[in-house]
Amino acid sequence: MRRLGFLVRKELQELRRNPRMFPVLFVAPVLQLTILGYAATTDVKNVPVVVVDGDRSPASRSLIERFDGSPYFSVQSVVSGARAAEEELTHGRAWMVLSLPPNYGRAVHEGTPVGVQVIADGSDSNSTTVALAYATTLVAERAAELARDRQPAGAPAVGSIESRIRVWFNPQLSSQHFMVPGVLALLLMVITAVLGSMAVVREKELGTLEQLNVTPLRRWELTVGKLLPYGLIGVIDVFLVVGVAVFWFEIPLRGSLALLLWLSLVYLLCTLGLGLLVSTLSSTQQQAMMTSVFFFMFPMIYLSGFIFPIENMPAVIQPISYVIPLTYYLVIVRGIFLKGVGLEAFWPQALALLAWGVTVMTLATLRSRKTLA
């Protein structure tokens, strides 16, 4: 135990001697969570539109104002030639072109049918889908309004249908509520996996591992002593990012905070252990970095359900999702934050996370003996 204490002290001293590390370890995650939490939204808002107004009448302007006044569109410019507008679309300065024909005003006035054209840039398929639906709706509503205006006075009023949309499990349907816990989990993973993956290989590269070899340290003492300081940093980061999520983004923490913290510890066990395993498998820090970025961080970002729903993935790829610890932690974090559920709902995930952490730690410890021998 005393030997363990010495090792921990040595590691802490090394950290202290690198004072630039601290702002990065503690300020960067807070800053990143704040920025990224706002950015990660799939809402369709302010779609840039260019209007070709071939009519330039009060009637056409009123339809254009309807577009500009809605939260979904933002009219960039009104041009008179279709060519100029299409160029905006090609340049990517506009996502949509709304074309009103020269006879628009007259047709509206006389009550004859008239068509307006909408050209959408389909590159961003989901946003385009929604934007097109909104555009169609705005035009239909304008048409209904015109029809109402032409009704003779005293005609019976016509009602409308309104949709009451209720979203289950995320009632405010906020991308933030969904994404902030995810970004939080990823940031924790990045920081602790980086620290862990550099832990042993740095000594290897600098040649000081030999010195550790000749000390009477046991294998598990080496693992624990190396990771304890990083675990401490990880725990502080857990508090910081959970604080940002709760107090800054005001994500409702519906479940138990204690449970969240305990399971975060288990998660840190996985990410630190994973880092350490990489560290023992690599001979240079560069290799350790490559391995952890390409083989752990990429899959965690894309296959964990962080952004893309797992059930949308092809059946052959879905199993990969279930060997990623982040998949389980995300279910847990989102469950505690958004659904307010406890262990009774996600005990399989919690158990999987624990098994994962223990396995990877054991592997890393066994490996480190090999490198020591």
Partner 1 sequence: MRKALAVGRKELHQILRDRRTLLILLFVPAFFLMLYGYALNWDIRHVRLAVLDREHTGESRALISSFVNSSYFDIVAVVTSTNDIEHLMDRGEVRAALVIPEGMSRDLRGGRVAQVQVLINGDNANTATTVFGYAQAIVRGVSAQLQLEMIGGRALAPPISVDPRIWYNPELRSTLFLVPGLIGFIVMLSCVVSTSLSIVREKERGTWEQVRMAPITTVSYIVGKTIPYFVISLASALLIILAARVLFDLPMRGSWAGLLVALSLFVVGALGTGLLVSTLVDSQALAFLISLLVSLLPTVILSGFIFPIASMPLPIQLITYIVPARYFLVVLRGIVLKGVELHTVASQVGALVIYAFAVLGLASVRLARERG
What's the residue count for the chain? 373
Q: At its nearest, how many Å lie between partner 1 and the CB of residue 39? A: 5
Residues 307-366, interacting with partner 1 (CB under 8 A): 307-309, 312-314, 317, 320, 334
Residues 79-98 that bind partner 1 (CB under 8 A): 89-92, 95
The dihedral through the CA atoms of 222, 224, 227, 228 has a sign that is: negative
C-beta contacts of 38-43 below 8 A and 24+ residues apart: 38/176, 40/175, 40/176, 40/179, 40/180, 40/183, 40/307, 41/175, 41/176, 41/179, 42/126, 42/127, 42/175, 43/175
**120 binding partner 1? (CB under 8 A):** yes
Return the SS3 of 124.
Answer: coil
Q: Which residue has the tokens 């902030």?
A: 180
Which residue's CB is nearer to partner 1, number 5 or number 111? Answer: 111
Q: How many angstroms separate the Cα of 163 from the Cα of each of 42, 246, 254? A: 21, 31, 28
Stretch that binds partner 1, among 77-85, 233-241, 248-256, 290-298 (CB under 8 A): 290-298
Instruction: Yes or no: say if 301 and 321 are a contact pair by the CB < 8 Å rule.
Output: no
- Classified as helix, coil or strand, 55 is coil
Question: CA-to-CA distance for 114 and 216, rounded, in angstroms?
Answer: 88
Q: Which of 110, 214, 216, 373 contacts partner 1 by CB under 8 A? A: 110
C-beta neighbour count of 135 within 10 angstroms: 21
In the three-class reduction of DSSP (H, G, I as helix; E, B as strand; rest coil), residue 224 is classed as helix
Q: Considering only the stretches 118-126, 208-216, 258-266, 341-349, report the one whose residues sit in contact with partner 1 under the rule CB under 8 A.
A: 118-126
CB nearer to partner 1: give 3 or 202: 202
Can you read off the two tokens belonging to residue 352? 């999987």
Region of 130-138, 236-244, 247-255, 359-367 interacting with partner 1 (CB under 8 A): 130-138
Angle 12-16-21 from CA coordinates, rounded to 5°:
110
Closest CB to partner 1 among 122 and 261? 122
Does 40 sit near partner 1 (CB under 8 A)?
yes
> Closer CB to partner 1, residue 51 or residue 108?
108
Q: Is residue 343 a contact partner of residue 190, using CB atoms and an 8 Å limit?
A: no
Residues 6+ apart with CB under 8 A from 224: 4
**Mask for 235-264, x = binds partner 1 (CB under 8 A):** ------------------------------
Q: Which of 1, 83, 125, 258 binds partner 1 (CB under 8 A)?
A: 125
Binding residue (CB under 8 A) for partner 1 from 170, 256, 362, 371? 170
Q: Which two tokens stand for residue 32?
A: 């990143």
Which C-beta is closer to partner 1: that of 179 or that of 350? 179
- 289 contacts partner 1 (rule: CB under 8 A): yes
Q: In this structure, which long-range contacts are made by residues 26-29, counting pairs with CB atoms below 8 Å and at least 24 apart in sequence?
A: 26/233, 26/236, 26/237, 26/240, 29/187, 29/188, 29/191, 29/237, 29/240, 29/241
154 binds partner 1 (CB under 8 A): no
Q: Which of 48, 54, 102, 342 binds partner 1 (CB under 8 A)?
A: 48
Among 160, 214, 247, 258, binds partner 1 (CB under 8 A): 160
Output Rg (C-alpha) for the chain, integer angstroms.
29
Find the binding residues for partner 1 in span 51-70 (CB under 8 A).
Answer: 63
* 100 vs 355, beta carbon nearer partner 1: 100
* 155 or 373: CB nearest partner 1: 155
Residues in 179-238 at the binding interface with partner 1, rule: CB under 8 A: 179, 183, 186-187, 190-191, 194-195, 197-198, 202, 205-206
Stretch that binds partner 1, among 19-27, 77-85, 219-227, 265-273 (CB under 8 A): 19-27
